[in-house]
Structure 1
């Protein structure tokens, strides 16, 4: 380790892919109040409490193996004297000299916590002084505070209810209920104005195999990242939602058949080309454009049949319901 890195004003530690400490700098040794010989060759989790070991093992390893890096992960290290050291961790996984290693930069958070504590204490003292200089209005202030607290609690509960009613908690996208409401609204608008819209249904190819092979935490990460990708490719007027399991849906206002296929192909190509770490993810898409005979159920059914055609046709492709042969 060169002198500049060894004397850098932040902790630096290199661990093997299995967590064995390969090298550390002086700042990291000072954080843990120990010598270099006490750390080199030991497992990084030996400097953690049981709770932080579980956190590190459950989130750090799967995340860095999936994406190759970790940014601003907060947890605590433990000194030789069993003192907690709150830190902020950034890490990158890379190959060096024929070995997979993880280089980590560790920043102390103690000063930040002290500043927050000082600010809280200052706020408390100001509130006490204010109360002392307004003794005559104590009762009014208490009633006002109770009112504000209850109002804030009511607003918080209403916001939670609204969020639960319309948002998928895992991906942050709109949920199935919200999608169905907007689908009916889109149908009503189409009947009034004649302006077309299209519906897409997305499904992750072989998603069960991913869950069975790598576990549900990795599956959840993939669902979350795919949701972020779909949202980033969507227009401001589009409605992207999680339909259930590994299925997503999108309502595309003002999109006719050609536009729906073009946008669906864009989603499909982007998913196949995205960086998913050590995994390869593709999606199949079924599309349907509204017709005068459609109801909420029929347009979803037509898009769903198109999705199955994409699956049966080899996956990683787009099928529009209008391009399928009519059932006899």
Structure 2
């Protein structure tokens, strides 16, 4: 039985037959998932499945054994910590309730009650609103470099569906979301040779930049990224011709940004490639299916196979 749950960072997962899968990408008709051990340093697993209308199709098998007790443990802890975020019950009661239906084998691999209690308390502290700034806290507060209304930013998704924010000629990546605010960092944080430490906080429809950038802004480049992201995301869920999609997305775009974009031929080719990848699994099934022009052709093939099997 498939059981869906969320990771600590609210990434979508599901458990099936002693394995855990992470959501890779979602399409209008189906979703693609990969084994959570794909990035394991010791033994990377390439297992992949496609979920379509509740049916699971295994495309690549696992290279490791199933572990039902580990999966049961993960699901139990996930439900416990998620329940702790919305319930005011003491940790001891939450833990006892969560372990009522757990198997003895699962209980044996769970963390101690002290560790689970500490984790519950830590998660609840993270959900608390920030304390008002006092004189003793002032040195710990990062100075605000600038503030912007939320509507001044443009939010979009990366190729891997990660949250991004364009603001004042810069692009930020979503670091973490909390109950009342979210943290963002400059996408050049890992760039070489100069890493940018710029950070921003989005709270109550206001964006506060806490650390300034160490590089110049590039508004045309940012607008180009936004246009291409919008184009390719729309292409995945639309059946319109690439030329029509490109014309719609480019409507209202400045000439300066248009000049920096790839040619229409390149964008059309990229759209076609992304669509092929989106339907790659379905296409494989079609490619492996033999099509007959008539019922007579089918009968002839069957008779031929029967003769080949006869001694």
Same fold (TM over 0.5): no
TM-score, normalization by structure 1: 0.28
Between Structure 1 and Structure 2, the one with more helix by share is 1
TM-score, normalization by structure 2: 0.29
Q: Considering only CA atoms, is the larger Rg found in Structure 1 or Structure 2? A: 1
- Bigger relative contact order, structure 1 or 2 (CA pairs below 8 A, ≥6 apart): 1
